[in-house]
């Protein structure tokens, strides 16, 4: 029983590592124009940048051309482009999703397809 749990965890971490490596470059690609994204969403600088943990003045510098750190770029993508509410994501949910994807890929694809239709 303990070995089955350890194997499950190894599979989970391996799948996540491979997925991360495969998509790493896609994840951290440059945000072409954060000001344009912010304006399309109808947010002021403080509202937009505070959602990703950046001050208004820091966001202003990024909008003026300063290099945006990879972590901030990824948060902007998740929060403002993909519209993911990070306050609702729990670690356990991510673990369950990764295990579902690894152990039952057909069911995972079916559920993912159903979720996109809604």
Residue 76 CA to its chain's centroid (Å): 9
**pLDDT profile of the chain (118 residues), mean per 10:** 57 60 55 91 97 96 94 93 89 91 92 80
Q: 45 near 87, Cβ under 8 Å? A: no
End-to-end, the C-alpha distance of the chain in Å comes to 38
Q: How many helices (H) and strands (E) are present in the chain, helices listed first? A: 7, 0
| pLDDT for 115 | 85
Q: How far apart are CA 84 and CA 77, in angstroms?
A: 9
| pLDDT for 59 | 97
Residue with tokens 């950046």: 54
| pLDDT for 5 | 59
Of the candidate CATH numbers 1.10.260, 2.60.40, 1.20.120, 2.60.120, the domain formed by 31-84 belongs to: 1.10.260
| pLDDT for 61 | 97
DSSP characters over 20-72:
HHHHHHHHTPPPS-HHHHHHHHT--HHHHHHTTT--HHHHHHHHTTPPPPHHH
**What are the extents of the domains in the chain?**
1-29+88-118, 31-84
b/e burial code for range 91-112 (CB count within 10 A of at least 16 → b): eeeeeeebbebbeeeeebeeee
């Amino acid at each position: 029983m303990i070995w089955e749990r350890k194997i499950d965890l190894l599979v989970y971490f391996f799948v996540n590592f491979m997925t991360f490596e495969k998509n790493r470059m896609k994840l951290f690609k440059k945000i072409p124009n954060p000001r344009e994204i912010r304006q399309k969403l109808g947010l002021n600088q403080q509202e937009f940048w505070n959602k990703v943990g950046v001050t208004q003045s820091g966001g202003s510098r990024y909008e003026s051309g300063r290099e945006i750190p990879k972590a901030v770029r990824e948060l902007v993508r998740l929060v403002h482009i993909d519209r993911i509410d990070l306050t609702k994501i729990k670690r356990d949910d991510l673990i369950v999703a990764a295990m579902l994807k690894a152990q039952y890929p057909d069911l995972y694809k079916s559920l993912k397809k159903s979720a996109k239709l809604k």
